[in-house]
Chain A
Amino acid sequence: MSATSAPGAVSTAPSKKPADTPPSRTKKARNPKRVLVYVLLSVGLLIMSAPFLWMAISAFKTQADLTASPPVWLPTEWTLDNFRELLDKLDLPLYFMNSVIVAVLVTVSNLVFCSMLGYALAKLNFVGRNKIFGLVLGALMVPGNLMLLPLFVLMSKLQLIDSYAGLVLPFAAGAFGVFLMRQFMQSIPDELLEAARMDGAGEWYIFWRIVMPLVKPALATLSIFTFLGSWNNFVWPLIATNDPDKYTLPVALATFATDPNKAGGSNGMLMAGSLLVVLPVVILFIALQRHFTQGIATAGMK
């Protein structure tokens, strides 16, 4: 419930007030504004979701409807053939599991390592801190593709091509996460940590028991960002896997989409595939999204 209290407090306050204060003015002033906000958001949402709707509807179209020109909006006949044919030709559960395993490992290691460095950079005074922060900023600016070739050579020498380790290790701790955690941890008052230090708490205790619970919304944000980053990563898995059994979902889908012997330009199968790839993450996001609504400041004050 505290999830909605932070943002809710702003907008529910006026609606409670009319009971004690003269109601007419506030109500009239707010309603047209609210309608406008809803209209703007709805138009925006329609534009944002149009490609998805098109994808979802097209996945159930017959080949004839798919290639009709001008296009038909709704299928003249709904069909599941696209899904059947796709699952026949592509071992989606295998690629799904590969993607899940890699994404989970990457996320957990990022949460731990990025928070640790984020805490050190935000709250500990130590020699070399600014240099390390400079490294992190520098790492943020490095184009990912800058490292592809030497990474490939390195992974070959370590014999980690076609292994989960090879897919996970280069992403096990990202500068993005460090920057994010540092930004959020800076908002925790120093006095709080000083008080804990006065009471004899060690740095690990302070980090793990005081700081981490306070930055839960940031951790949730980082989890989702990292998980999705790994889930959507395309170039490195493409390069680091040769064995089709080790493909992640995007690599499998891309290979499938460009192989004329498999999908062969069947938009129906590709839309069905895209839908199946997109759906699990959207559901996961819906399940986790309430963590976003917990205000960082609100959490810090309790």
Chain B
Amino acid sequence: MRTMTSKAVQTAKVQAGSGASGSPATGPAGRRGGKKASMGVQNVAGWLFSTPFLVLFLVFMAFPILATLVMSFTDFGLRNVTHPLDANFIGFENYVNLFSDEKFLKSLFNTAYFVVIGVPLTIFLGLVVAVLLNNGIDRARTFFRVGFYAPVVTTIVAVAVVWRFVLDPSDGLIAGLFSEVGLTSPDFLGSETLAMPSMIAMAVWRNLGTVMVLFIAGLQAIPTEVREAARLDGAGVWQEFKGITVPLLRPTLLYATVITTIGYLNVFEEPFVMTQGGPSDSTLTVSLNMYREGFNFFHMGYASAMAYVLFVVIMGITVLQLRLLKDNTK
């Protein structure tokens, strides 16, 4: 059993390790001698397989990303939508203004609040549900899985409409629960302190299923033999979880954490549909702020600068996460 487990752990390490940065695969020096012919074929094949994605990427992503960067150094406004080249270059003015803009600083804080509370909750609950689904039951598995995943498949507009109704302090579901026990429901979305927690609750509710599915896929990738060997060796539930499940699940954990963090840093639709950033900007996130500046006030240069600040923040945090989680496997 020992050998099997440690072998499996090694596989997990290799997978997690090659995820982030340069594994030694590319350099021609790294390969063994007789592989030269195959290397040439793989060079051609590699690029042929990459081309369709790269073309789409260049036109519909790289170009807009660069265009946004250029715009962030201009006073790009409404009239420039038809005459983009007429925008004036103003250097770093947009960026300088951002950091004395209280609204922007508040949106940064709100986004951080959303991520710091929301991501660990989503990952933890998703993992708990996945482990429960994978261990205790077999017959009702489908039923539960569908139930927990259902919020993911729902359109955000429908969800927002429903949640607004659920949280309505006079005729909503929560109001009903409060009145059953003789209390009056607080106005969740109308309160500066409660609006953001309500939004986090909805986000966790909505995204838990995504994380759960990833973890279930990861759990099922663990060979049954490894688990059975561990059980035969007398490993308890906790030992099995700690010694086998967690190490082998590390690539999935890494993936789920990074994806969820990126998603939450970009949080836009929830406040857009539920609160429009209110009350008193308490749910104004960076993305929503950016959208408003760009599409409501047509300060598109300024909005572009905002987009780039968010981009740098996201990149920094993601690189940090990849590094931290990779090191943990040692």
Contact = CB atoms under 8 A, between A and B. Distances in A.
Contacts of A70: 171, 175-176, 179
Contacts of B145: 289, 292
A250 B156 contact: yes
Given A271-B165, A281-B153, A128 B47 contact: yes
Interface string B129-140: 100111111101
B137 A41 contact: yes
A51 interface: yes
Interface string A133-166: 0010111111111111111111010000000000
Nearest to A300: B221
B26 A221 contact: no
A60 interface: no
B120 interface: no
B234 interface: no
A147 B42 CA distance: 33
A125 B42 contact: yes
B74 to A, nearest CB: 12
A146 B311 contact: yes
Contact of B149 (A33, A52, A253, A289): A289
A116 B57 CA distance: 14
Given A6-B224, A145-B291, A197-B38, A69 B170 contact: yes
A10 B290 contact: no
B280 interface: no
A239 B18 CA distance: 39
Interface of B is mostly: helix
A219 interface: no
Interface of B: 15, 18-23, 25-26, 31, 38-39, 41-47, 49-50, 52-54, 56-57, 59-61, 63-65, 67-68, 71, 81, 84, 129, 132-138, 140-142, 144-159, 161-163, 165-166, 170-173, 175-176, 179, 205, 208, 210, 213, 216-217, 220-224, 227-228, 237, 251, 255, 258-259, 262, 265-266, 268-269, 272-273, 287, 290-291, 294-295, 300, 303-304, 307-308, 310-311, 314-315, 318
Given A55-B165, A113-B53, A234-B156, 20 more contacts: A8-B138, A50-B166, A50-B173, A54-B166, A116-B52, A120-B45, A124-B49, A125-B46, A138-B315, A145-B290, A145-B291, A145-B307, A150-B63, A169-B56, A169-B60, A179-B255, A271-B165, A278-B158, A282-B150, A297-B220
